[in-house]
Chain A
Amino acid sequence: MPETNDFKVFVFFNDTFSGHAELKYAANIAKHLNSPLTILIPDSLETAILFAKNSKYCVREILEIAQKRISEKVSSLINACLQISYEVVPDDLNLLNSDKTIFVSNSIISEQNNFSVIAPFNEAGLLERGPGEIMIPFGNGESGIFAATKALPLIKRLGLNVVFWHTTWKNPALIANEPEQHMIEDAKSVLKTIREKADELGIKHRSVIETADDVVEGMLRFALKEHLVLIVMTRGKKTGEGRYGDRLIKRSSPIPIFMAGRGA
């Protein structure tokens, strides 16, 4: 029997193209994590009452039929061979108040900061385009450490390797060409910390330091070139405007993004 764990994957049910894509990606992640998949359905009691007034069914029957049909639809979409469990429950985001909660959604990643969200964009699964590493960009602040702390247990469970990526401004006082030479001490300290965290968990990792002209462009181009399968981000506590994670989403990253939530 495969080992189970306490990661929980959540996704909204939407009978739309993007909703189906999110559901498939969520099922794929749940399969990789060997975790249960929970499908959330918004509370539709009001619409059920309105519907009942115009049909032969009572409200309870309508809700039961809808739940049954949604279950059938989900089964057909995520394919029975995935062997994952799912349940249809009312929409309640309080369920997500856990460190090991992963919500799969393209829309709420832009607005939600309490729990961790993966935006799959147009991808059908984590390794659908072939194997690859997971990218954790870091700077000189606490964001990189926070993102690594949140994501590394997940990465360990997925059995993938990590690339710690950093870009730095060139120090005009230095003539050295190697980007590592231009890193400031704070960034070096962050790198040391996150490397140690990866080592503690036994995750294979490598570090890449660049001097990209633009952080978001450099990050995305590196990830695309190296065929990285997921980019781990978090929203910096001190940054007011132009958080890299948000800019990456705005730039329509084709690579799925994991936005580490900071808790309620």
Chain B
Amino acid sequence: MAILSAKERFLPYMVMAAVILMYAVKVIVKISVGNFVNSPVITGDGYHNASDILEAVLVITVIMLAQRPPNWKYPFGRKNVESIFELAVGLSLTYLAFRVLTQSLGGLLAYFPLLNNEIRKFVPLPEHETLLMGQEYFWWVLGTMAGSAILSVIASTIQIKVGKSFRHKSLVADGQETRSDGVIEFTAVAGILGEYSFNMPVIEYILGLGVTILLARTAFGLIVRGWRTLLQRSIGKEHEEKILDIVQKTYGVVDMAELKTFKIGAMPVLIMKVTTRSSAETALDIKSALAGRIHNYMAANEFPEWDYYIRFDKPIPHRYRISFAVISTDAGEVIAPSIKNATHFRVCDIEDEKIVRWKDYAVPPKLNDAFKLLKERRIKELRTFDEEQVTVAELQKNGINYNHTPTHDPALLGISKVTGSS
């Protein structure tokens, strides 16, 4: 887990403090202006902003929790709390999108009374209320809403930027909600302008439908991201294939037997099982190299912070037995032309195509007894220099394959008494 710098630690809190200050200004101005112009809409929005202050405090709490280091109770830390918040914001934006949609549809239907009456028989749309404020309050209302919208956009931009830079999903999610508030406020401004300047309040409702789409898209993105993280979805097939390629191309690696990826908050976690024939000491070198090579890839793909767990394993060995027929005398030893000439069966244990052990057995005088011995020793293949066809056929009847050796010299086959195994 990376150690946070002072900037990483405190900047998100400073941003949220500024956001709280912004909401405090909004609350004071909106409630004051709302009361002044007798607008329940503006006063109500002021109280809504008061609840945003509570949400901002919640974001700070979530960030504090997420920044706490891992311990034995939470071995991966508590970063997922940000995904829970992300999911919650997504759901609340879904509700908001639904509200804006029904209000906008209600406003539009008011222009078609017959259709309005028919639809309302089946769909419980909210009652449409026309703007009731007088001309003399136009600039107060417009100034309040436009100023609020501009503040929302500025604050949300900073929240999203800082949230992405320091990988705080809750900050990004809250920023996206603040931006949605700003879009709604701009739509309200458009509605006010449409009402008072062009006598076309319908503009607000048409824009409202557009806002619904924007809100729904933002909500969907937040819900999907939160859901995927909480359910530990993989970081994606494309990334996993690239990581697999990096691992397999690293020297010393035989294969990657397993790769599991998921995210804790915004941080990807990789769990790998790598097979290698290297020693424990070299495996540490390979591990260090893998960390460096994968980091280069992750950093280039918007994952500067990531965590990994690598377990090394030996490849499952392919084991079987073969036997060479040899002539072993005081003068030396040589591969036998055939079983009939052989003094010994040199029975070799093969592991991953390498001879790891061999042992000599005296060849019985009778051929059938020789076959019996080979079968008892579970020999898969017998090798001589030049076996007779009749014997080869008999071997195959006994379930033993035959292969001739390329040379008569045991040294070149890795089974000489001098050279030992290959």
Question: Footprint of B on A, CB under 8 Å?
Answer: 13-19, 41-42, 44, 46-48, 50-51, 54-57, 62, 65-66, 69-70, 72-73, 122-123, 129-130, 217, 220-221, 223-225, 227, 251-255
Contacts and interface: CB of A to CB of B under 8 A. Distances in A.
A20 B289 CA distance: 28
A129 to B, nearest CB: 5
A99 B249 CA distance: 32
B355 A16 contact: yes
A129 B250 CA distance: 7
A70 B406 contact: yes
B408 interface: yes
Contacts of B329: 50
14 contacts: A14-B414, A16-B422, A19-B422, A51-B327, A51-B335, A51-B385, A51-B408, A54-B334, A65-B386, A73-B406, A123-B251, A220-B285, A225-B288, A252-B279
A16 B413 contact: yes
Contacts of A217: 285
Given A221-B288, A221-B289, A227-B250, A55 B406 contact: no
Say whether chain B's binding surface is mostly helix, strand, loop, or mixed.
mixed
B134 interface: no
Contacts of A227: 249-251, 293
A69 B406 contact: yes
Interface string B246-268: 00111110000000000000000
A57 B293 CA distance: 59
Interface residues of B, number: 45
The 6 closest A-B pairs by CB, nearest first: A254-B252, A16-B422, A224-B289, A16-B414, A69-B406, A225-B292
Contacts of A47: 332-334, 408-411
Nearest to A14: B412
Interface of B: 248-252, 276-279, 281-282, 285-286, 288-289, 292-293, 327, 329, 331-337, 341, 352-355, 385-386, 404-414, 422
B236 to A, nearest CB: 23
A225 B335 CA distance: 46
A48 to B, nearest CB: 6
Nearest to A71: B406
Contact of B341 (A54, A62, A65): A54
B380 to A, nearest CB: 16
A62 to B, nearest CB: 6
Given A130-B249, A221-B288, 4 more contacts: A16-B413, A16-B414, A51-B334, A51-B408
